[in-house]
Structure 1
């Protein structure tokens, strides 16, 4: 049934403080609906795998290289999904592409519960990565339109709300998956099944949010000019390195904590604390800070913070304190990366280039995410174990922080 086209909620032009507050509230509600995309795309499809990996590794007889290969397949799908997101936005319309890809993600999660064959699971991880990339990229572009016209500092709030969905997804995973794993050797199947069911439920708030996003002919996806890509070069390089560094930690940290003697309840608490730290800092800190820092300062700070979050589990005495400290510090920074990258694209590109810019940045992110777990897994299979693989993660994050400082601020054109 046809309905009235939604109006842009641009708080910068409202006439009173009450109108401004109402406009911000509407923006937040829309962003909350869209945030179910990253809840599923990253919180469930990507990061919950870290909780399920020890059980699948043991039950299915995998090596760490095979376990890392699962995330590499997911990241390879993510690359293809990010690269094709503009195509699907044009072909289906951005709202429809966002919702259909989210539905495919839910189906992939449900199907993962039904298979034990390595090749079949590899294919499903690939499909899940492809679908969730389309969801995440198009959702990022949609939420960028929500605050079009708002002052620079305030325009970061809807993006931060959207990205906070990842932390919420991590928290949900940290509560649901350990309960599922208590069912025994087939608990990993129940974990995927429950997350698939939750992803299906998420379609309703996603639809409610997407249908209220402002729609304007001058914000349709366009191909970026060569000079626009060149001036974002340092951010592209940073995103490859950051993606490789942070996802290696997220893939193997639970397995490391289990080898250090932490039980299932402690590792579940670790995951919940990490997710809460991510959601809270993204909303409270990065929604303000990322909008104020110019050039690559925000992205450099993010990489440095995430690097600091890796160190406690590598340098401190193994135990609950070092694990939870790592969860708080790492959680405070890891989803600030996509927040900062989205805001850079929004500031330095015209509205017609937002979807394409975010898609290409996500491709760079995905390249790093594809290479990181496989390289880390290969190192973890050798002498030194999982810790050796995580030192690779730490080194890549340091290089990422230094690379980000080369990014300069440019006006959108």
Structure 2
């Protein structure tokens, strides 16, 4: 049985959701809002703009790969909170310089810390209802992932407000506002973590070859999916601005995208992912995200196409991490959850490191739309790869051993 009253579990998951608010909603995705202003004010090429996202994703790879180490060294709870606090500091420091190498370093370090935050937060969220059944656990993981949508909504409100006042030079104020909000987000995360008892030994278990083999198609899918979806998120705002969409329209796009993400993750994907066997959930996620890219490429330029894209894309893009976390929970013994989620996040990060750079190069040579068609192709391949994932049959660790930390 769950260690918490049923009414308290959603509150704990929501408090943990402060992690993805900062890690993805602010650090990763708000960059798409700030990129056109930074590019205009600092005279970057699209390849340079994509390069900063690649630096962030490279740091994310390192952070995801070392998350288990930090969990062992500091404990999951302390590492989650510590890296969340450092991530907030990085957002504030990003406003302090226009030097490209320094910005690249900050984006890299921010990638490391936010990856640790996200991985360990995912593992903590998966443990909130360890004995409550797959459907209940998937719902709580989805609630945690909804933090990304909340972060996107807040970004869509804060960043355009800064840019509306100061124009392209307002990118510094945008980072400051995000950093201030990130500092505030540490408070609910702290309250939630205090409700989760430390569990000795859970993060010490490694993964066997059999564990890895069970999830092999999901690892491949996650690389391709990460490259596909992040290429769109990195450059779609630049495309919309090039097509004449002004700041209020851009803000509306981002807010709708975030709302669609939060609502769909909470009301649809948590239940759906737990019911679909094998790789059908990640395949469906990839297909819906692909459909969300098409309106800005195929329909006449303007706000209607942008908002349609925001609704469809936003409704599914964070269902990818939800599906990956639920599959890891389903396939692996309790002691392997943190390591499994960390390795899946490494795969996800590898895709996110390569996608924006390649998309940026294509955009410089043939226009932004050419780079976004890369997203369509990658997401189509990802859907096909995901279907090769069969239903795993994990080794089972008795619940009493998990609860006692043995």
TM-score (norm 1): 0.94
> Could you give the per-residue CA deviations for residues 129-177 of structure 1, whole angstroms, max 9, x where no partner exists?
0000000000000010001011221221110110000000000000000
2:250 is the counterpart of 1:264: no
2:143 is the counterpart of 1:170: no
2-side partners of 1:180 and 1:24: how far apart?
41
Q: CA deviation at 1:186?
A: 2.5
> Could you give the per-residue CA deviations for residues 364-384 of structure 1, whole angstroms, max 9, x where no partner exists?
00000000000000000012x
Q: Which residue of 2 aligns with 1:9?
A: 2
Q: Which residue of 2 aligns with 1:60?
A: 42
1-side partners of 2:106 and 2:248: how far apart?
28
1:188-227, aligned counterparts within 5 Å? 188-217=171-200, 219-227=202-210
Contact 2:77 / 2:198 at 8 angstroms: preserved in 1? no
Range 81-90 or range 211-220, more displaced: 211-220
2:366 is the counterpart of 1:398: no
Q: CA deviation at 1:188?
A: 0.3
> Could you give the per-residue CA deviations for residues 339-380 of structure 1, whole angstroms, max 9, x where no partner exists?
000000000000000000000000000000000000000000
2:132 is the counterpart of 1:139: no
Match of 2:278 among 288, 295, 302: 295
Q: CA deviation at 1:221?
A: 3.7
Q: CA deviation at 1:218?
A: 5.5
2-side partners of 1:271 and 1:45: how far apart?
15
1:275-314, aligned counterparts within 5 Å? 275-314=258-297
Gaps of 5+ in 2: 396-406
SS of equivalent residue, structure 1 residue 186? helix
> Could you give the per-residue CA deviations for residues 82-134 of structure 1, whole angstroms, max 9, x where no partner exists?
00000000000000000000011011000000000000000000011000000
Q: CA deviation at 1:189?
A: 0.3
Gaps of 5+ in 1: 1-7, 12-22
Q: Which residue of 1 aligns with 2:64?
A: 82
Q: How many residues align?
A: 394
Match of 2:310 among 317, 324, 327: 327
> Could you give the per-residue CA deviations for residues 214-255 of structure 1, whole angstroms, max 9, x where no partner exists?
433353342100111112110000000000000000000000
After superposition, the Cα gap between the structure-2 partners of 1:293 and 1:10, relative to the gap in structure 1 and judged at 3 Å, is: farther
Contact 2:203 / 2:339 at 8 angstroms: preserved in 1? no
Range 209-218 or range 105-114, more displaced: 209-218
